[in-house]
Structure 1
Amino acid sequence: MSHLPRILTVGAEVALLPAAVRKFPTKIFRSNVSNINCQLRLQNRPKGLLAPGDLQLIESPVPEIRDGQALARVKYLSIDPTMRLWMAADTYLPAVGVGEVMRAIGFAEIVESRHPDYKKGDRLTGLTGLQEYVILDESAKRSFQKVPKIPFVPDTVFLGVLGVNGLTAFFGMEIAQPKKGDTLVVSAAAGATGSIVGQIGKIHGCRVVGIAGSDDKCAWIAKDLGFDAAINYKHPDWKEKLATATPKGIDIDFENVGGDIMQTVLGRMNLHGRVVLCGLISGYTKGDPGMASFATVLVKRLRVQGFIILDYASRFMEAATQLGHWKMFGKLKDRETIVEGLEKAPDAINMLFTGGNTGKLIVKL
């Protein structure tokens, strides 16, 4: 058994150690902090769904923080379709480099700090990456946001309804300019964003029709979330059912999917309808953007607007306050699909494209 003195503080007691030990000091962590950081790094740019080895699980040392830095333990990871785009090419953000930690939004808690803006126990969301620990420095304010502890509300709400999906739905519907009596169609309606979009549509007095990929998902959005109609696009007669559900045509298309679904919805749009282009997930694993023909856009005089949620960063607090109000008064409901273990994140990402999740998809660490 070693008889070296136990290190309690970085100071005079270190001098009691032998010179060989003092020369290469070991980082001393609190009992609840590991010295190993498990990470998923991009090794190959995927073709189609993620294959084994596209993201490689590695262990790296947790670096010792310096003045102006804080160390946070990641507790939850948000799994979002845009991650597949980040692996492939430059988009609104540069592509993740091969060998780099895969970019992802996460929920984390400060476990050690030498940063003036953060103290132990602070909770935040931001671009943590697919890893167990993340270092915050002077640039943290641009990519991290502190979040409060709300009684009886799970931490994961800050990755969904009060996170990027809620914000996306909020500002996307602002672009849509819904009016009472409008017919709103939402694709990927049982997903994290689409499910919130439909409920915001109901708050504004719209007739809301959701398109989803299973009978269970359709039952959830119709019975639990209050959609007026739900269409399973995997049924052979789904186009006829969409026509029946939209007898007065469609005023707003909140588009998350692209491809044949988008083309069919646009064919039922009313003159001067609004198309909010949020995503084209049907093409993310196929190298196909899934855009519809602009001939329909021209003939129907549609207004099509794409948007990126980062454009609204200065208004996030405003939107989160309103979303929180709706959530507190029961006007917004949500559901989560939680996968446990960092090593399961690649499978979770694929679930987005195979229909394996309902509501918000999260990896718990």
Structure 2
Amino acid sequence: MEGGEQAQNKQIVLRGFIVGTPKETDMELKVGKAKMKVVEGSRSVLIKNLYLSCDPYMRGRMREYYQSYIPPFLPGSVIEGFGVSKVVDSDHPNFKAGDLVSGLTGWEEFTLIAKAEQLRKIQSEDIPLSYHVGLLGMPGFTAYAGFYEVCSPKKGEYVFVSAASGAVGQLVGQLAKLHGCYVVGSAGTKQKVDLLKNKLGFDEAFNYKEEPDLDVALKRCFPQGIDVYFDNVGGAMLDAVLVNMRLHGRIAVCGMVSQQSISDTEGIHNLFMLITRRVRMQGFLQSDYLHLFPQFVDKIIDYYKQGKIVYIEDMNDGLESAPAAFVGLFSGKNIGKQVIRVASE
């Protein structure tokens, strides 16, 4: 393309900081322009976004007062998230036009990446490209690092996973089964519970929305108690799990989706069990373990190609569908990893 040529660039913009549960109207579709050539000497990369990831952690970045590991979005700015993209033009020696890459990008058709080091080149393999925002992306690596490094599992242990049919939970459960553990998951619909037991290989699963007493539900599934809890929801579920932990159990605190849209988060009443049962509870980020990423990719690709694991995606088409897909995360509409297909490969 000629140096001055531009293309239409649809973008999803945050209208303002959000209080409470996110709504589609908190975001809007705008149409801008993108230059199709990068500036010589800038070492920047222009990418065309193919698949975008919808993740619950993004809700925190829509809060005005957000003290965390990543800055908040600014009102009027393009929303940012993980994506799979194709290089359109590059002034960086590690990337050339046509390369497929994954990494942080904008919720838009074209994104200019100033820091190309945040991109990871995708090697050709017989795996769906969209899996690089799920199974082989941040959620998959979160499951891998959290389960093996934080949970320190042992064969034969009793493992509980909340939000078990989601992007992270579905892989945690399958890794735990491959490790020789007894695995139970919770989810919010009968369809998801059936999926956990019949497709993902969980030993047992229950619909937390149909359980009047979570403590009773956990005792039914774990009469001998829980060794490992992979927590994706926090709140009442975490409180109930604490009184069902076994001696020297481990809790990996991955996410707290039940608390993401609450101004005054719920307190936890059973923390004393950490002392009496000598339980280790640890929060973590997948970025703490990036040195393990090559090992993770090799192992998960091998499992996938052998048919030892499956991965479920909930695919929405078109950038316009992104706000509804994101909002749906907080009411459990998605089944599996929520992905937006922006453009064909």
TM bin, normalised by shorter chain, reads over 0.9
The partner residue of 2:223 within 247, 252, 256 is: 247
After superposition, the C-alpha distances for 1:184-229 in whole angstroms (9 at most, x for unaligned) are 0000001010000000101111100001111110111111111010
Do the aligned residues in 2 keep the contact of 1:258 with 1:291 (CA within 8 Å)? no
Of residues 235, 245, 262 in structure 2, which corresponds to 1:259? 235
Give the drift of 1:59: 1.7
Q: Which amino acid aligns with 2:337?
A: K
Name which of 176, 192, 195 aligns with 1:220.
Answer: 195
Structure 1 residue 109: Cα displacement: 0.3
**Structure 2 counterpart SS, 1:333:** coil
Amino acid at match of 1:105: F
Per the alignment, do residues 183 and 319 of structure 1 end up closer, same or farther by CA in structure 2, a change over 3 Å counting?
Answer: same
Aligned partner (choices 10, 14, 19) of residue 38 of structure 1 = 10
Q: State the 1:313 CA deviation.
A: 2.0
Structure 2: how far apart are the matches of 1:231 and 1:59?
Answer: 44
Alignment partner, residue 314 of structure 2: 337
Contact 2:24 2:324 in 1 (8 A): no
1:132 & 1:260 partners in 2: Cα distance? 40
Cα-to-partner distance string for 1:75-102 (whole Å, 9 max, x where unaligned) = 1100000010111123111111222211
Determine which of 31, 39, 59 is the counterpart of 1:66.
39
CA shift for structure 1 position 150? 1.7
Look up the match of 2:146: 172
CA spacing shift, 1:290–1:349, aligned 2, 3 Å: farther
The equivalences for 1:93-242 within 5 A come to 93-137=70-114, 139-141=115-117, 143-151=118-126, 153-174=127-148, 175-237=150-212, 239=214, 240-242=216-218
* One-letter code aligned to 1:39: Q
Q: Which residue number corresponds to residue 29 of structure 2? A: 57
Residue 9 of structure 1 deviates from its aligned partner by: 6.5
Letter in 2 for 1:252: V
Contact 1:251 1:270 in 2 (8 A): yes
TM-score (norm 2): 0.92
For structure 1, which segment, 311-320 or 83-92, has the greater mean C-alpha deviation from structure 2 after superposition?
Answer: 311-320
Instruction: Tell me which residue corresponds to 2:294.
Output: 317
- Cα distance in 2 for partners of 1:62, 1:193 equals 34
Amino acid at match of 2:137: G
d(CA) in 1 for partners of 2:24 and 2:173? 36
Letter in 1 for 2:218: L
How far, CA to CA, are the matches of 2:157 and 2:284 in structure 1? 21
Structure 1 distance, partners of 2:2, 2:273, is 70
Distance 1:127 1:336 in 2: 19
Determine the C-alpha separation between the residues in 2 that align with 1:86 and 1:149.
33
1:50/1:346 contact within 8 Å kept: no
**In structure 1, what is the Cα distance between the partners aligned to 2:193 and 2:268?**
24
* RMSD of aligned alpha carbons: 1.7
Q: Secondary structure of 1:108's match? A: strand
* Inter-CA distance 248–216: structure 2 relative to 1 (3 Å threshold): same
List per-residue Cα deviations over 1:230-278 (Å, max 9, x = no partner). 0110113563332121121100010000111111111111121100000
Using the TM superposition, give the Cα deviation of residue 53 of structure 1 relative to its aligned residue in structure 2, in angstroms.
3.5
Per the normalisation by structure 1, the TM-score is 0.87
* Distance in 1 (alpha carbons) for counterparts of 2:267 and 2:101: 36
Map 1:267-278 onto structure 2 (within 5 A).
267-278=243-254
AA of the residue aligned to 2:90? S
Aligned partner of residue 272 in structure 2, secondary structure: helix
Return the offset for 1:296: 2.4
Tell me the amino acid that sits aligned with residue 284 of structure 2.
F
Partner letter of residue 112 of structure 1? D
**Contact 2:232–2:254 (CA under 8 A) maintained in structure 1:** yes
Asked if 1 retains the 8 angstrom alpha-carbon contact of 2:44 and 2:116, the reply is no
Residue 50 of structure 1 deviates from its aligned partner by: 2.0
Structure 2: stretches of 5+ with no match in the other structure = none
Per chain length, whose mean CA-contact separation is higher, i.e. which structure has more relative contact order (CA < 8 Å, sep 6+)?
Answer: 2
**Residue type of the partner of 1:283?**
Q
Query: Equivalent residue for 1:15?
Result: none
Q: Whole-Å Cα distance in 2 between the matches of residues 223 and 197 of structure 1?
A: 16
Distance in 1 between the 2:267 and 2:103 partners?
A: 30
Structure 1: stretches of 5+ with no match in the other structure: 1-7, 11-26, 30-34
Tell me how far apart the structure 2 counterparts of residues 62 and 103 of structure 1 sit (CA, whole Å).
16
SS of residue in 1 equivalent to 2:252:
strand
Q: Which residue of 2 aligns with 1:79?
A: 54
User: Aligned to 2:210, what secondary structure does the other structure show?
Assistant: coil
Shift of 1:290: 4.5
Q: Say which one has the larger Rg.
A: 1
